[in-house]
Structure 1
């Protein structure tokens, strides 16, 4: 056994880098071909003080990722390895089982993750972006299966909860380089870590689709009770929420003039995971008079956007971009935001540099802590 640890495993091919991984994501989303992926983050699994033999055992356990001819491997600057195969994923399952056999379960939970393309393209692009800017702590990918299961008890707790105590409200303002400023609307979205904990979920759990839909319907119901004096608001859109009784009752009671002041924000991840139901929700929302926005949190995901996609969101659709240090380069590579043909607002505008860049791109709608202080 010890003899097998004398030399590092041979590579079948040099791993690709960030550019090659981004290209694979784009090709998969555009072409509709599926990929199974395994993310292996050795820096999170092997402590710096680990004994040499332990580290060597882990390296040997990871050998199937490098040896299997069907696996296409990518190496990111922070040491993360991304292995991709066409289904079936037997080669990935073999590699994952080999690693889990030598890892502590707690280490495996943070260092090994199974993803799928195109469904998980936004999560993978966010990880790629964090790796490129040297941020190893974010974004945190929750362990596989760490999703809160919504049952009757959870929904009953939600019905009793004061939802307003678990919402994050931030103004979106129109800012002009010439000095003009004015409120546009309020962005309102759940503080998921706090709300999940309040409803009995474990630390780090993500909301599942039924919970997101139930909370979106509750937000809509609260909006309906606010009456015609309520200001304009943007809400995250869980596509399934539009078919719930709470939403439909609110929709029937809400005057057309108020519906026109509601912006429903569809996450790009939801669109990629289930494009059919997501676009049905978009069409329903448009027919009922709501505005729709497409949310893109990771700069790399801009590669997945096309004018045709935004046009399919309906007239007056908005684009909500999250600011990051990589956003200017991504926008430059795609030839500017004007090519998309949608009014854009920049979220996460916490510094003057973000606002200045937005102005250079023709943006006038901003959201963030810097904008917050203009109240």
Structure 2
């Protein structure tokens, strides 16, 4: 459930937002700093606070709670500007576009007033914990459970592959509040990073997106106040997740397109400058045909995402179409970026060339938010 199109926001407003964001990133996220984040495997908290002060966090949160009431168009601008700079490792889209909307859409008035202002300011960094060691895309196999204990919930279980896991101050934990009720027994409970019984495992060593802290989380009688049950009523977690997944999957498709377009631009520049057998690589017909095909694919992806975004803003994006967008775009993304790397030859295999990082960073997009295989299952149900 994305915030509806804000008709008061003009194209000039969006251009101004993009320009402002670009200036902020040029100043505070130069390549040397991004390289350090990749080395440290985390973006320092100061950067989150800077982003909050600059107005880049919680951009779709209503003004009444400290935001300024943007919509999905702003999220796409953030994704695209991050993509131009190789900033896929900084979890702002997760914070803004994936987790915060749960609180806006389903939170009680008390929850909104407690959490949303801090989400906007950067004082509260968000994560959502669904995946478990034995349950990835299969939410029905979830084992983490919570029991009511007076004015608290006691949560037990384990989550893994949780983005923003080392940094997050507030984590929406998907868990069973009724073990015998199937999908109707799932709930989302917000766990604070300082909660008793909650601990973080290691910052996982990943193939790509090194700056994105991704963690194991442990709940050993972890305590969360009763008022942290999202929406205030147990058993609504599955429907809440299903409502939000179309936007998440469209967002992943948009991130995949941003990576693909950056890879294509870098490859065209390289092919224009690199000579072989007395001529530029771009003068070879094979190179032209490969890049022409990739450009066509990227353009088709953009039109598809544009159409889905229009539906999302109108409240009409269904789960099947969102699954199609994620499947279509991310599969093209991974395959096309591999072809781009091939044009670089041996240089493409060197970490000093951005195409190598893009190649690694792209691979997760056919996996997280539901694997391509799960997308096919969901799409097949509509046949």
**Smaller-chain TM-score range?**
under 0.3
Choose 1 or 2 for highest CA Rg: 1
Which one has a larger percent strand, Structure 1 or Structure 2? 1
Which one has a larger percent helix, Structure 1 or Structure 2? 2
